[in-house]
Structure 1
Amino acid sequence: MKHVSILALRDATMSCIDSSYQIFNRVNTFLNYQGRPSFYKVEIVGISDVETLDSGLYRINVTNTIDKIAKTDMVVIPLLCGDFSQAMEKNKGYADWMLKQHQQGAEIVSLCVGSFFLAFTGLLDNRRCAIHWAAKNDFTLMFPRVQAIDDTIITDENGVYTCGGGYSYLNLLLYIIEKHLGRELSVLASKMFEIDIERKSQQPFIIFVGQKRHGDADVLKAQEYIENHSGDQLSVDHLCKTLHLGRRNFERRFKKGTGNSVMEYLQRVRVEFAKKQLESSRKTIQEIIYDVGYNDINAFRKVFKKHTNISPLEYRRKYT
């Protein structure tokens, strides 16, 4: 039997704690129906007997406290809400215990922005971490030694698991179940809880917001110019001439500040503009493509699919 410790972190969301508890216990029920023994022993654990969640909205009676658990097999870190810096400070009492459990071989499962606390412990240093696209900029600034990824839902780094997206933790739980008990049981859980097991990417959901907290005034001017002229025939030379900057130095500074090359940034701004048009306007797809500065329809379709993982037509059907 695998012992699972779901942390009742202060300022965590109640929904993901309860969902994790229910899903792992229901898997035991599925196994029992098949005449097999339960696989998970699930506990909600805290520092004290009663913990406050979701910025004081809930109080929960935990099933155990960390001082009484010498060894666990899996630690589940729930989503955090509110100010991440404050949440990490409130929960630092869990850090040493969690590090000890990891050293003893425990798997660490971080649900969405619970990864802020996981990164705070140092366990994500030099590892990949799936982070919600809206939190990536803040996460990267706080934890530069972590490779933040916003285009995939799940990362698996030798027993340290992360996921990006508020409810994508359900897909991570299915992934964990599959690793422990096989594909058949994971598919059964997917069907019983009606979770789309094939959801792998955050890309269709991303709203591109450029990183602007880099402190480089020239780069910020370039970003604003691109965003205000996304339908123009822009080039790097045109930007440099307009802003009176040397190309080589400008490109280096732009990449350092935003995480994108100039042309990548322009592509993402154009794709974001096209997405809004596809959602709300009556224009044809061809008209929208011309509006964002492309004359080659097929070239833009390739760029659009690169950043959203679906075609413009599929996007319109999904979000119109």
Structure 2
Amino acid sequence: MSLVAIPEAVVSTLSGIFDVMNAFAMMPQSNSMAIQSPPFRVEIVGVQAGPLGLASHVPVTVQRDITSIESTDIIIVPSVLLGAEGWQKGRYPELVQWLLAMHSRGALLCSACSGLFLLAETGVFDGMEATVHFGYATAFTSVYPQVPIHSERVLVISGKREELITSGASMTWHDLVLYLIGRHVGATAAQAVARFFALQWHQDGLAPYIIFEGRSDHGDLAVQTAQEWIAGHFSVANPLEEMIRLAGLGERTFKRRFTLATGLSPIAYVQRLRIEDAKRRLERTEAPVDEISWQVGYVEPAFFRRLFKRVTGLSPGVYRRRFQIPVYARTQQKG
């Protein structure tokens, strides 16, 4: 297994993957998981062997340069940190050519989070479904519009041989390594590793983590006026009427232009703003769900609950338990 190191790589993802995939030697063996020898030999590889400073300026040692590797079974590109200039294609031509050669010889190409920016440069992901960190989804699509992105998904497996594997935001590298262990060693081994490291599958997807931010780069001033107003008045009754009035457009024209500009109908846009506010209230207060429903603009709590689950994938109660700071981690007030 080859774990690719480049200067933009994030040390926590790289080192985490390295440790977990090398963990079999240190894990206690049980009768249900008797592994005679470590199933993976993980190496940190790069353009040049030796010390390499990563995005956080923490150095790692590249154990092998890619010119010395003629074949490998699995390649993982860990998370990369994008600067203000975004991803610049063409920085690593030798690495891209090596990735293509390894893929042609049967290697799995895997990305953790934003590592897909490098892998996509090979072109083998064109037309193949993939996932990437939701915070980078727009930037990725602008660079690689030919790769269909589903940033709400945790893990996407594509390709004729299921050889193109991408994981979504940040810590979903856990799902990636557990999937690879399950695929190559078995479900029992994957479960044992998950228990040993207290790793969890993100079985509810990434929709609960995504913060809604309406598009504002569309250039339609009438729609932007409505957006600015609704940002502070989404909880009022019948907000659509005021949005149309402020935009100075006919109803049908407004709905058409709003949907074209933002990607959402006006009603769906209002719903997303309300649900986003409800998420913050669930995270930060102890208010009952029915009261939060009213606070964000819904008089029917049952409708609010259904809508909340449709948008986030979780019920309000489950969401609160998942994202509210647990009692044991809260700062104690001194008397």
SS at match of 2:41: strand
Task: Give the counterpart letter for 1:79 in structure 2.
Answer: S
Structure 1 contact 129–148 (Cα < 8 Å) conserved: yes
Structure 1 residue 288 corresponds to structure 2 residue 289: no
Task: Give the counterpart letter for 1:244 in structure 2.
Answer: G
Q: Give the C-alpha shift of residue 88 in structure 1.
A: 4.7
Structure 1 contact 190–196 (Cα < 8 Å) conserved: yes
- Equivalent residues in 2 for 1:80-99, closer than 5 Å: 80-83=80-83, 85-86=86-87, 88-99=89-100
CA distance in 2, matches of 1:237, 1:119: 44
Q: Deviations over 1:86-108 (max 9, x none)?
A: 56554444112112222222111
Provide the residue aligned with 1:151 in structure 2.
152
Q: Deviations over 1:187-218 (max 9, x none)?
A: 01101111013544112222212232233333
Structure 2 contact 226–247 (Cα < 8 Å) conserved: yes
Change (3 A) 1:71 1:219: farther
Provide the residue aligned with 1:308 in structure 2.
312
Q: Give the C-alpha shift of residue 148 in structure 1.
A: 1.9
Which is worse superposed, 231-240 or 166-175?
Answer: 231-240
SS at match of 1:171: helix
- Equivalent residues in 2 for 1:100-115, closer than 5 Å: 100-115=101-116
Structure 2 contact 204–314 (Cα < 8 Å) conserved: no
- Equivalent residues in 2 for 1:1-320, closer than 5 Å: 4-27=1-24, 34-55=34-55, 57-83=57-83, 85-86=86-87, 88-157=89-158, 158-197=162-201, 199-234=203-238, 236=240, 238-318=242-322, 319=324
Higher helix share: 1
Q: Give the C-alpha shift of residue 246 in structure 1.
A: 4.2
Q: Give the C-alpha shift of residue 71 in structure 1.
A: 1.8
Structure 2 contact 52–61 (Cα < 8 Å) conserved: no
Change (3 A) 1:29 1:287: closer
Q: Give the C-alpha shift of residue 117 in structure 1.
A: 2.1
Q: Give the C-alpha shift of residue 156 in structure 1.
A: 0.9
Structure 1 contact 187–197 (Cα < 8 Å) conserved: no
Q: Deviations over 1:33-75 (max 9, x none)?
A: 7253432222111101135333361222212111111222211
Q: Give the C-alpha shift of residue 32 in structure 1.
A: 8.2
Change (3 A) 1:144 1:40: same
Question: When the two structures are superposed, what TM-score results if normalisation uses the length of structure 2?
Answer: 0.84
Structure 1 contact 136–148 (Cα < 8 Å) conserved: yes
Which is worse superposed, 281-290 or 295-304?
Answer: 281-290
Structure 1 contact 11–87 (Cα < 8 Å) conserved: no
Change (3 A) 1:275 1:200: closer
Q: Give the C-alpha shift of residue 252 in structure 1.
A: 4.1
Structure 1 gap segments, 5+ residues each: none
Structure 2 gap segments, 5+ residues each: 326-335
CA distance in 2, matches of 1:22, 1:48: 22
Q: Give the C-alpha shift of residue 267 in structure 1.
A: 1.3
SS at match of 1:317: helix
